[in-house]
A and B are shown apart, each in its own frame.
Chain A
Amino acid sequence: MKNSREIDEIIERYCFGELTPEELRIFEQWLENDPQLSASVNDFLSLKNAFENYRERLALKKKIERIHEEVEYDLFNAPAPLKVVKSARASRVIFGKERSYFSIAAAISIFLLSAVSLSLWIFGNGSSKNQNAYRELRREVEKIKKNQKEIIKGINADDVKGDLKQFTGTGFAITKNGYVLTSYHVVQDAKQIYISNESVGQLQAEVVYSDKSLDLAMLKVKEDSFPGFKEIPFALKKSISDPGEKVFTLGFPREDLVFGDGSISSYTGFEGDTTAYQISIPVNPGNSGGPLFDNQGNLIGIISGKNESAEGASFAVKSKWISDYINSRNDDNAVLLPTNKLLIGVDRATQIKRLKEVVFMVRVFN
């Protein structure tokens, strides 16, 4: 009598067609007389089948994962439109803490953007040489688009407008334990929010509180096993900076972190808005919500938008208002404003090296 391991081995060899003719003859006879054996054979056959199916699906899965990676950029990276202020009528002035808002066109202008921001994106600041390069690129893009449209037409006439809209912007950590600051208009109407960069990977976040008029939103990482960010290297500067001061920002106008620098041009933002600075950093859609630092690496603002009709005029909400706002919402002292001075007296490259750990791309699904 054979032991169960030997029996199993014979069943396996039988199912793989590996028995010698002599063994096969004996095995088949045995099969006829032993219903238990034939049940075992059937079990093995379905297991074998499942292995094959598993192998095929795994291969298909790999292929589809590859396809996903190839189209991911198109699927996820419509940059969040910058808030572009346009008409002379949109204005707000704040005297001390008493605010009055006359915002008429601002809300509308957010939605006017896809066309505007595309042309800004393409023709934005750059030498004439660059413009030519961009023009060529643009034509290519259009050609490809046209070709694709033709195919798409065949597949689905009105499929182009999906139900899910995706935007990207920038955000940065303000505490080690997961609080992240960004612009209100980046996360407006968000169903799901993800922050990502090289060091943290991708983390889900949610809005804790936000203020439309200041264009600020506080997010918090919403992951069970979130280990915390690296030490926040900068301090939030509460005093006002002066025009002429050199400033820089980090942001995600595209998939990778992009550095931009310039200086403060004015104490006030658009149409005398006292909550913001005008700065001379060229910014693009996707830069919204990015931190603005001075030469010493102190946080002095947060990028909010740009002036459509004046080239190189961007705006940033002043850090003073950020700190006032956070303090006004900070009943439980959950957010301690950062006061570290790890960036003072080090060169720009080192500053950026430390800062890039705490600056994120913010992906929003509406």
Chain B
Amino acid sequence: MNQVQPVAEIQVLELLQAGDDKTLKLVYRQNYQTVVSFILNNGGSLQEAKDTYQETIIVFCEKLKQDGFELNCSIKTFLYSIGRRLWLKQLKRKSRFTTEELNDSEDYLPFEEDKTDEREEQFYAMNQALEQLGEPCRSILKDFYINGNSMEEITQKFGYTNADNAKNQKYKCLKRLKKSFFEVFNNGLVTNEELQRD
């Protein structure tokens, strides 16, 4: 069995950056309650809290991968800040958030708009757009653009008589997806300004 050594945060970060899942698990467990109780205390349900926490971890992982990433606070504070910001955005989207003060239990960092924000918005918009799309469009596009299946496989799977029919269907689906994706992406952006106005 491996001897477990005390690990400093900097080493934790290095392990995380190297993609060590055990460390990720530990960090996940360690910070769950802090972020989840923040959301429960600010009008979230348990499901929302869990989802937002998982998104927090995703954003954290993405930030870790960015060039020149540097952490100047504890991981806990960092995660709390990300989770806080994500929850604020969520409240904005649901427009449940009026002028009430948030109930904070920790210090947090104000974030600058950066690349991860764009990725978040992209993901959100793509998710929305795919959901609005309905079947079979959603599955066709997912199979082709996300799972990397070939047009022949799709023709067979969805029972099209020939590849050209399938292609035509895919073309129509993509057109619709494109429309709703950009609609959500361009209108749904919650800007930093809006977040700081409160």
Contacts and interface: CB of A to CB of B under 8 A. Distances in A.
A228 B108 CA distance: 43
Interface in A49-83: 49-51, 53-55, 57-58, 60-61, 63-65, 67-68, 70-71, 74-75
Given A54-B146, A65-B54, 9 more contacts: A51-B146, A53-B126, A54-B126, A57-B119, A63-B21, A147-B4, A148-B26, A150-B5, A365-B40
Interface of B: 4-9, 11-12, 21, 24-34, 36-37, 40, 45-46, 50, 54, 57-58, 61-62, 74-76, 105, 119, 122-123, 125-127, 145-146, 167-168, 171, 174-175, 177-178, 181-182, 185
Contacts of B27: 155
A64 B58 contact: yes
A164 B119 CA distance: 30
Given A50-B181, A64-B57, A194 B46 contact: yes
A43 B126 CA distance: 14
Contact of A68 (B8, B33, B45, B54): B54
Nearest to A152: B30
B179 to A, nearest CB: 10
B118 to A, nearest CB: 9
- The 3 tightest CB contacts between A and B, nearest first, are A162-B33, A164-B37, A154-B7
Contacts of B7: 151, 154-155
A61 B76 CA distance: 20
A53 B118 CA distance: 10
Contacts of B24: 64, 67
B168 A5 contact: yes
A48 B34 CA distance: 36
A164 B40 contact: yes
A213 to B, nearest CB: 29
A332 to B, nearest CB: 28
